[in-house]
Structure 1
Amino acid sequence: MKFFRICIAAVVAFAPFGAAADEVVLKSVSTWPSSYAVVKEYLRFVDRVNETGQGVVRIEHVGGPEVVPADQQDTAIRNGVFDIQFGAASYYSGVVPEADALKASELSPIEARKAGAIELLSGIWRKKLNAEVLGWMSGGIGFYLYLTEAPKLTDEGVPDLRGLKLRSSSAYKDWFEAMGATNVMMAPPETFSAFERGMVDGLAATGINFRDVGVTKFIKARVSPAVWQIDTLIVMNAGKFDSVSEAARKVLVDAAIAQEAQTMDAYRIQADEEAAEIAKSGVQLVELSADAGAKYKALAHELVWERLARNAPDNADALRRALSR
């Protein structure tokens, strides 16, 4: 109860003054701080809503994990303490195991929406999280393996990680084990000190915010191709979404669709810039051969679909069909 009293106090503290009487003001929170590249892109969605929804709907972004811990934001959204949340769906995969489908998707967010997958996901999110999925902001960006030394390769040309210890979480555990690595489970804030003390030999991270992790100086190699996609969603409390006017819902959905497209371009540029910057800092960009890269990706993706089949058998097949080419 103390957590919710704090959250409610935060909402009241950030309440706007002088807003138009008929303008709906929505409170949003994000998994990460505003300094993160992905959150900066989300804030462009907020700006888009506020520009196109003047007098109808407006979003006030309250903050990130300093306001509500990342692992408690799903509860805050479900209970309507906040109206909109932006962050990684994997943070609440214990509640919505179908979040794995985003990671394993072969389709971009734009393709997924056209195929009806966003509508399918939203139906699941409503049942399990009391939330409407407004948009998926992956930008088509995947995850790379970052290591303190260039990896050994098997006879098939894929990384042989036997003997290596990798900073891990439930999202990476099966994948790392399949390649022979030892998982060292830890929260993100512990990552820097783990590298500093030699406790880990690498980690997986996306292609656009790796430098935000702060461990570039320890890394000597990045393995390509990237696998999976980032699972960053914009979700809204379902009751709140249903209660606002049709005009407000249209502003929100149209802004999410436009942002999905803009994010594809923005993240592509950021990914190219990040690759150039880390290469300049001395990180070797290790490119697997076409055959080895295909096997490397297939392993990562199949493990996620297998996990989804175990954890969400009722929806796994439908999601795989909807998100596969």
Structure 2
Amino acid sequence: MRKKCVISLVGSICLLLVALVLMTAYAKATPIEEPIKLNAVSFIATKTHTAKTFIEWIEMVNERAGGKMKIKFLGGPEVIPAREQVEALRTGVVDISISPIAYHSKIVPACIAWALSKDTPWEERKSGFFEHMSKLYEKANIHLLAEIGKGAEMYFFLNKEIKTLRELRGLKIRTIPTVATLLDKLGCKGVTIPRGDIYVAMERGLIDGFLSPPSLVIDLGQHEVTKCFVDHGFLVSVIVFGVNLDTWNSLPKDMQDLLSQTAEEIERIDYPRYFEIEAKAKERLVELGVKKIEFSPEDIKRFYAIVYESFSADLDRADPKNGSILKRLIIHKVGEGR
């Protein structure tokens, strides 16, 4: 009896060992599925609200992907210079990036249409504006995912106090491609310098002013070299979330859906938040000694007429066919109240 028990025990141990060997062999033969890895960069420093919103979205995606996909944030312009990031995205050096439409005029000339629109991101999706713009970006090998920053308009920040629209004439203003025509029509002298050089240029009098959302002026400490700002915003600061089109097409449908859904979520989260941030930033600027300038009703009307005429003319020159389509899809135009 005892002998039978021993034999039975030995048999059980042998079966267990065989099972372990088979399980090990199966595990080796079946590799663990690695998550899809994507990398992302921001055109602007991580301490800014824009970059923080981008990182917030990345964390949202990573959490909901359940280990199936992971986006790694590489950093800001210290990783890839800001103006080189669009080309890096287009060619697949990076998978995802955020950048302002000011950097996109060469690859999607009709992007200037955003400068004419006061519509919310979801209004632009509903009207067909976003869909049409997406098709244009696809031709540049970029999948358009989202837009943020529409609550942040550009304002004139100056180191010389003015009272009227006419006094903008002759001032040296830091320029970017999207505002070159506008500055010319206002009689300003456009000066091309990197964003990072604005502080020193203002300090040394190389420029008399620049355009920026108020919150960014505080984030970058530029209020220290600024005397006043003209409290009439324009040119919504549209920041585009883009995915390399080849990368996008390689993703499984559920991961594409995740990126799209979370992108639309961050649009709705960030839009009202931007308005609140910019309103508080303007109050803070005044507290810091930066004077708020308001034009007369006549000057305000003329100012916004020039803004619309300038951007509309730029769009007509850049891409008349698509420009005409996009203009018709805009519900609320710049200069109109909301």
- Give the TM-score band, short-chain normalised: 0.7 to 0.9
Q: Match for 1:276 among 279, 283, 292?
A: 283
2:75 aligned partner: 63
Q: Match for 2:125 among 113, 124, 127?
A: 113
Q: Shift of residue 44 of structure 1?
A: 1.1
- Tell me the SS of whatever aligns to 1:315: helix
1:144 aligned partner: 155
| C-alpha RMSD of matched pairs (Å) | 1.7
Q: What count of residue pairs does the alignment treat as equivalent?
A: 301
Q: Shift of residue 130 of structure 1?
A: 0.2
1:22 and 1:291 map into 2 onto residues whose CA distance is 63
1:7 aligned partner: none
Q: Match for 1:300 among 286, 300, 307?
A: 307
Q: Does 1:131 align with 2:139?
A: no
Q: Does 1:100 align with 2:112?
A: yes
TM-score by length of 1: 0.87
1:240 and 1:185 map into 2 onto residues whose CA distance is 34
1:315 and 1:272 map into 2 onto residues whose CA distance is 34
Query: What amino acid is the match of 2:320?
Result: P
Q: Does 1:195 align with 2:202?
A: yes
Q: Shift of residue 300 of structure 1?
A: 1.2
4+ runs deviating over 4 angstroms: none
Q: Shift of residue 22 of structure 1?
A: 5.2
2:221 and 2:90 map into 1 onto residues whose CA distance is 32
Q: Does 1:205 align with 2:217?
A: no
Q: Shift of residue 215 of structure 1?
A: 2.3
Contact in 2 for aligned 1:227/1:301 (Cα 8 Å): no
Moved more, 271-280 or 281-290: 281-290
Q: Shift of residue 212 of structure 1?
A: 3.1
Q: Match for 1:186 among 182, 185, 193?
A: 193
TM-score by length of 2: 0.84
* Distance change in 2, residues 1:199/1:190 (3 Å): same
1:227 and 1:212 map into 2 onto residues whose CA distance is 20
- Tell me the SS of whatever aligns to 1:135: strand
Q: Which has the larger radius of gyration?
A: 2
Contact in 2 for aligned 1:49/1:251 (Cα 8 Å): yes
Runs of 5+ unmatched residues, structure 1: 1-19
1:17 aligned partner: none
Q: Shift of residue 159 of structure 1?
A: 4.5
Query: What amino acid is the match of 1:52?
Result: R
Runs of 5+ unmatched residues, structure 2: 1-31, 333-338
2:92 aligned partner: 80
* Distance change in 2, residues 1:214/1:120 (3 Å): same
1:288 and 1:277 map into 2 onto residues whose CA distance is 21
CA deviation profile, 1:91-117 (whole Å, cap 9, x unmatched): 131222122112221212121112122
**Percent same amino acid among aligned pairs?**
26
- Tell me the SS of whatever aligns to 1:216: helix
Query: What amino acid is the match of 1:148?
Result: N
2:326 and 2:69 map into 1 onto residues whose CA distance is 32
Q: Does 1:23 align with 2:35?
A: yes
Q: Does 1:238 align with 2:245?
A: yes
Q: Shift of residue 73 of structure 1?
A: 1.4
Contact in 2 for aligned 1:165/1:201 (Cα 8 Å): yes
Query: What amino acid is the match of 1:135?
Result: A
2:178 and 2:201 map into 1 onto residues whose CA distance is 19
Contact in 2 for aligned 1:309/1:317 (Cα 8 Å): yes
Contact in 1 for aligned 2:163/2:295 (Cα 8 Å): no
- Tell me the SS of whatever aligns to 1:120: helix
- Tell me the SS of whatever aligns to 2:236: coil
Q: Match for 1:249 among 250, 253, 256?
A: 256
Query: What amino acid is the match of 2:42?
Result: S
Contact in 2 for aligned 1:148/1:218 (Cα 8 Å): yes
Query: What amino acid is the match of 2:75?
Result: G
Q: Match for 1:215 among 206, 211, 222?
A: 222
2:108 and 2:222 map into 1 onto residues whose CA distance is 31
Moved more, 81-90 or 97-106: 97-106
